[in-house]
Structure 1
């Protein structure tokens, strides 16, 4: 009887593990698959959303990115800058399911509420203090938030709205790793108020319970 129970538990565990695997980037079926833009090239093969360079043409530079020691320009309306290092910057990341970002913050700058539809994020603070948080889905809309200091680490689950805000008087710096070669980013305010073409103001006025004139003013602020 006990063996039967253990076997059933093992099957359930395998099923759960399989579900978790397919929730993120598919596992690679080869050692490397260097992304290539020229899909008409004789050396290109289509795999997992990217054309791949023939292995014999791969080089060390395909797995290299310089420059994360350089601060990003935070002179913008949100006071932050994200330097992404994903498959577009390192072609050798293709099919490997990871990426990286440097996030610079001016005093009181923020990385505004956003989501990564294809990746979980783990963030470490290198300098300064950040107020961070994420909100669970609509069943509860529960907010998890914490102030992080140098050396602290925080995790933002895949797909959930999250943010970082510099609560210090000086610049702040953080590095983030993501469980996708191209996790994507949807900044909530930009997507809602800065879409092209704009979302009908009547729709947003009802959704946010605001006057239509306020919605139109917000759309002007976010239009590209």
Structure 2
């Protein structure tokens, strides 16, 4: 029996996180207590390892074909893909591995697959949303009419809520969208994928 709440039409699940303070750690096999400094060092090393593995996996599949396969929700045999991203990637045989001859716990691999899988699913969402906006691109994006805004919402495949007040701290790209030509439709899937730590990576959770 699944513990997940059933979602209605138009509803979407969200994962919430909470901060926790780690004060000490224990080496499971030896029973050795680790100080906060050592624990932080080991956690940081593991996080960097996962990030690097996820970045390589993401770069390998950061293309329209693979993003479309994952977004379809079905594997090559027509079976429904699991909702967990790491399980979906394993069903598709999209694996992650550390560099060199290093061997890691399967939990590390699952974390890398989950991180990359969520980013790839988010990329599809962003690409479809952007395509809907570009399909209704106005002659003057700086002065949209009410009818043009209705066209934007009508072209949104996800039927998001109407826009709220403008961001008081606009992204530098906003100036280009107002003063330059219509952007290309493929800008959401740049070659190689988003670099870890970049603005694009933060937008998709990498």
For CA contacts below 8 A with separation 6 or more, give which structure has more relative contact order.
2
**Greater fraction helix:** 2
TM-score between both structures, scaled by the size of structure 2: 0.26
TM-score between both structures, scaled by the size of structure 1: 0.24
**Greater fraction strand:** 1
